[in-house]
Structure 1
């Protein structure tokens, strides 16, 4: 029988058994590898920790803040536009849009004066805000609550005043937030709208001035927006202890104009009245301070509302953008060139008839048939006879007369600080045909703007010296620094004696029997010239007429030069009936408004005909310059 007393030892799992076939140092090597890997991992984690907490700590912190930040724009205030007396013509006013964060409004608790809770959440907020916002309380509560899907920004009301926003904000309702912006306002409505322009978006989506001073001075008027950055929680609420970064807005500069708003209103009104009474398509006018080139008023009819430019009306200024043939008003340059060249004087005599054929074969006619008579230069201007005028103009070579026309400002811009100014149309004298050399003498075959006609008139009034026009008086920086407008050096066009004689013969315009009788101003001597020109009617004809008037008051001490254009009045459309009355009405207001004293001397009068000249000379009635010593009745 076998011996079974011997006890068997239990067998260990294989991974505990020592592998006697391996070297004894293998375990140590494996542990060493593990230790090295562990050490490397620790080192990498350390480096990563250093990278996160030291090297990139500021960047990561900034990124985290950005994720929980909200930035608000602080709108820059656009500079004001002021008139010459500091009256506001355009201003940006602070306005607010008000929105709600529907996630926060439910935390609102309304208490009465003793601290008792009287309401919570959206219903309580709607109860206090409804009268202010003008929204039905139940409807407003629904907007504030937002339903199951809540949004962090829902507009409640737009374009409210700072006073309304302060009233809303006084309740301290969580989630009720403002959006500030600036709204441009024009306190005088349409008065001077073509000067001021308006704000809007251009074709590239940029917001800024789109016409007038708003456009030409946009770079000065526009400021730089600031910003306010605050930290917010997940719900969108501002964290009171969070970081706040404010960058103040840089406000725009203000622009002070040469325009007087009272004169502007008066010129607008007089022009609108004439255009309406005459059934004309449009009118434009300009008033200039003699000697400085300061534009006191610039008017256009059928203009627009600058606060709502899309409501209708022309957004440009025809006074500087729409050249027209001036008609007989343009004769002033022909008279001036001949006198300045010493070819004629106020009492030089020329034969006049209704029709005259010149040596080159061209036949020129006056507007209406009249008896042939010998008239003085003064009489030819007073009666505005083309047949007499071309004889005067023929005393000056075309090249020289063309140089005078350029010197008076034709074919070039006036310098006025408004966009899209036209230089007018003036062809070189070498391109004039046999007829154009005569029609250019009496205001046809070239075109000028109302502003250029005014500048020409102001040049004569200023002793023959042309100054650039300007409508911007100065730039006023936000710190109060004033930068005045600097204009180019004046240009002498004709001699002072020539200009003085021109003013003398131009005073015949308001006498009985002359063309500008409606331009007279009681108590003041007026110098001027009417004009009428035919214009294309779009169908190949010349049925349209443009009436013009260019005048100065007082003629004995020139202070204001005015040019008026009325386009396509019904009926004859003569400047004597359409444009001269505008000068008379506006001028009467302007001399009172500016405190210009009445003329202390009688109107300068010259004999109009050769017979009058001979009779006056025989009777000793003439002064040294050929004018009457005393006033005469014609």
Structure 2
């Protein structure tokens, strides 16, 4: 029995992750013999508590899963949780791979591996596991630890420099759908998650929707090319604004450029230009392509909590909704569904299924390949080549004045800046989301890198916030994988 709960709290407060009021409430509950106030203590902390010899306090040895990578890819891995479990019952996987593959990864308490995910952060990324018939084996992931650490470091730097609310990213093979890294910061340490909040555990790359802004112009332009509505050299007159229905849309700076080509629409990210594409091809055709891209659907990625995008604003004949959607406003998309669609720009026009686990290898030598369905052909290989050529020109000539182009490797990329929608309707005047994607080598891509940051401070455009982390990642991947020059 606890005689002095306040004194007990003072003695234990450095070892528990609950506030004083909650501690005292639990410690003084009537009718309870044992009340758990902390689990997953380190051996060192357990010894210190034992030495205190506090009345009413007992320690119970418990097997739990240790994650050698700590916060590395934590939102992807998830964790095994005992929270809310009845004494004697088995722990379960919570979030990420732990939850999605719970039936395979689940171990009885006496077999629970302390280093269960150790191999995820060494060598090829094998996860010790069992199949439903209790035949032990390895789950082989597509996550590359060195690449995952690089991505997380770049996200952390960008998030800190720009004082953003959240910064996330995905590195994927656009031809196969294999994900080498997927992360968002702030994150958590699965070995010490007591101070983390629920939003640290979920994965916003699959479970949150955003209006992603001008990176969607690349998809709109590809749709225009494939439908033969425009070519790279098609021109229109840009007055800087456009009256549609009863509303006016403007370029980001309000300026008109006169007669410009579709290439310049991408180079200068002109809202009026993609509006011209939609008007030329027609709303029905535009909507047909966006449905083919499955931007409003789940991708089938093997992570828990995936949601679908929201194209509800396109269930109308109002022209303004289609025009704003053409530059990424008014449609709310998940990053993972957006990445699937963007992958089709460089891979010849095919939809792929993003995934993290590729096979299960059993100890008896048998191997089970995880087969993920290949999606439809959404546009032609010729369209893929032409839009890639246009996006290479964006990098070579326009992105930071062409100063970031690589002389021996072609990169296709596009930036995006979007006002953030207010829950009460309309848009904030001072809150923005920045996005950036690029793939390389542009005409036979091995990697697509997608980045975004939420509400960065003191900066206007994603070319300022995300170009540097994108180029750091790109240069590293080219060197790490020894990607040969393509020009």
Range class of TM-score, shorter chain: 0.7 to 0.9
What residue number does 1:576 align with? 463
1:472 corresponds, among 351, 357, 360, to 357
Residue 348 (1) aligns with residue 234 (2) = yes
1:290 corresponds, among 157, 174, 199, to 174
Task: Map Cα deviations across residues 408-451 of structure 1 (whole Å, 9 max, x no partner).
Answer: 23011122100001211112633253421210111111011221
Would the aligned equivalents of 2:313 and 2:321 in 1 still touch at CA under 8 Å? no
Evaluate the alpha carbon distance shift between residue 338 and residue 97 of structure 1 in structure 2; reply closer, same or farther with a 3 A threshold: closer
Residue 332 (1) aligns with residue 218 (2) = yes
CA distance in 2, matches of 1:590, 1:97: 37
Q: Which residues in structure 2 correspond to 1:102-501 (within 5 Å)?
A: 182-201=63-82, 203=84, 205=86, 207-224=91-108, 250=134, 253-312=137-196, 314-358=200-244, 360-427=245-312, 429-431=314-316, 433-501=318-386
CA distance in 2, matches of 1:531, 1:586: 18
Would the aligned equivalents of 2:213 and 2:416 in 1 still touch at CA under 8 Å? yes
What residue number does 2:34 align with? none
Evaluate the alpha carbon distance shift between residue 97 and residue 410 of structure 1 in structure 2; reply closer, same or farther with a 3 A threshold: closer
Shift of 1:491: 1.3
What residue number does 2:419 align with? 534
Would the aligned equivalents of 2:283 and 2:319 in 1 still touch at CA under 8 Å? no
SS in 2 for 1:511: helix
SS in 1 for 2:201: coil
Would the aligned equivalents of 1:221 and 1:254 in 2 still touch at CA under 8 Å? no
Shift of 1:96: 13
Question: Structure 2 unaligned runs (5+)?
Answer: 1-39, 112-132
CA distance in 1, matches of 2:42, 2:472: 46
Would the aligned equivalents of 1:97 and 1:158 in 2 still touch at CA under 8 Å? no
Task: Map Cα deviations across residues 61-109 of structure 1 (whole Å, 9 max, x no partner).
Answer: xxxxxxxxxxxxxxxxxxxxxxxxxxxxxxxxxx9999xxxxxxxxxxx
Evaluate the alpha carbon distance shift between residue 96 and residue 188 of structure 1 in structure 2; reply closer, same or farther with a 3 A threshold: closer
CA distance in 2, matches of 1:374, 1:135: 75
Would the aligned equivalents of 2:174 and 2:347 in 1 still touch at CA under 8 Å? yes
Q: Which residues in structure 2 correspond to 1:39-58 (within 5 Å)?
A: none
What residue number does 1:622 align with? none
Would the aligned equivalents of 2:419 and 2:431 in 1 still touch at CA under 8 Å? yes
CA distance in 2, matches of 1:380, 1:413: 30
CA distance in 1, matches of 2:464, 2:319: 32
What residue number does 2:409 align with? 524
Shift of 1:332: 1.5
Would the aligned equivalents of 1:223 and 1:251 in 2 still touch at CA under 8 Å? no
Evaluate the alpha carbon distance shift between residue 215 and residue 435 of structure 1 in structure 2; reply closer, same or farther with a 3 A threshold: same
Evaluate the alpha carbon distance shift between residue 552 and residue 582 of structure 1 in structure 2; reply closer, same or farther with a 3 A threshold: same
Shift of 1:224: 4.4
CA distance in 2, matches of 1:190, 1:508: 38
Shift of 1:462: 0.5
Evaluate the alpha carbon distance shift between residue 518 and residue 454 of structure 1 in structure 2; reply closer, same or farther with a 3 A threshold: farther
Shift of 1:522: 5.6
Task: Map Cα deviations across residues 486-526 of structure 1 (whole Å, 9 max, x no partner).
Answer: 01133101011001000000112223444685864463211
CA distance in 2, matches of 1:185, 1:523: 43
SS in 2 for 1:465: coil
Query: What TM-score, normalized to structure 2?
Result: 0.78
What residue number does 1:594 align with? 481
CA distance in 1, matches of 2:194, 2:47: 28
Would the aligned equivalents of 1:509 and 1:527 in 2 still touch at CA under 8 Å? yes
Q: CA RMSD in A?
A: 3.1
Shift of 1:188: 1.5
Would the aligned equivalents of 2:143 and 2:180 in 1 still touch at CA under 8 Å? yes
Q: State the 4+ residue runs in structure 1 displaced beyond 6 angstroms.
A: 95-98, 133-137
CA distance in 2, matches of 1:253, 1:308: 28
Would the aligned equivalents of 1:408 and 1:466 in 2 still touch at CA under 8 Å? yes
What residue number does 1:548 align with? 435
Shift of 1:377: 0.7
SS in 2 for 1:473: strand
Would the aligned equivalents of 2:100 and 2:302 in 1 still touch at CA under 8 Å? yes
* Count of aligned residue pairs for this structure pair: 416
Task: Map Cα deviations across residues 280-333 of structure 1 (whole Å, 9 max, x no partner).
Answer: 110111011121110111011101101122232501111111111111101122
2:454 corresponds, among 567, 575, 581, to 567
The structure with the larger Rg is 1
